[in-house]
Amino acid sequence: MNLDLSFYSWDLISKFVLKGFYFSVFLTVVATLGGIAFGTILALMRLSGKKVLELPATAYVNGMRSVPLVMVILWFFLLVPFLIGRSIGAEQSAIVTFIAFEAAYFSEIVRAGIQSIPRGQVHAGQAVGFTYGQNMKYVILPQAFRNMLPIFLTQTIILFQDTSLVYAIGAYDMLKGFETAGKNYGRPIETYLLAAVVYFIICFSLSRIARHVQQKVAIIR
Confidence of residue 142 (pLDDT cuts 50, 70, 90): confident
**Cα dihedral sign, 81-84-85-88:** negative
pLDDT tens string 159-217: 999 999 998 898 999 999 999 988 887 788 888 999 999 999 999 999 998 888 888 77
Report d(CA 43, CA 109) in Å as an integer. 9
Phi and psi for 66 in degrees, rounded to 5?
Answer: -95, -5
For the ranges 2-6, 55-59, 130-134, 145-149, the lowest mean pLDDT is seen at 2-6
For the cut 60, the answer to whether the pLDDT of residue 128 exceeds it is yes
Per-residue pLDDT at 6 exceeds 80: no
Higher pLDDT, 131 or 90: 90
Per residue in 7-21, pLDDT (tens digit) is 677 888 888 899 999
Which spans in 130-187 are helix H? 132-135, 141-162, 174-185
Q: Residue 66's CB: how many other CB atoms inside 10 A?
A: 8
pLDDT of the residue at 58: 94
Mean pLDDT of 124-153: 81
CATH topology of domain 21-171: MetI-like fold (1.10.3720)
Question: What's the alpha-carbon Rg for the chain, to the nearest Å?
Answer: 21
> Residue 89 and residue 86: Cα distance in Å, rounded?
9
Q: What is the pLDDT of residue 166?
A: 93
Confidence of residue 145 (pLDDT cuts 50, 70, 90): confident
Query: Kindly report the CA angle at 50 between 47 and 55, in degrees rounded to 5?
Result: 80
pLDDT tops 60 at residue 221:
no
Name the amino acid, one letter, at 137: K
Across all residues in the chain, what is the average pLDDT?
87
Instruction: Return the pLDDT at 196.
Output: 93
Domain edges within the chain: 21-171
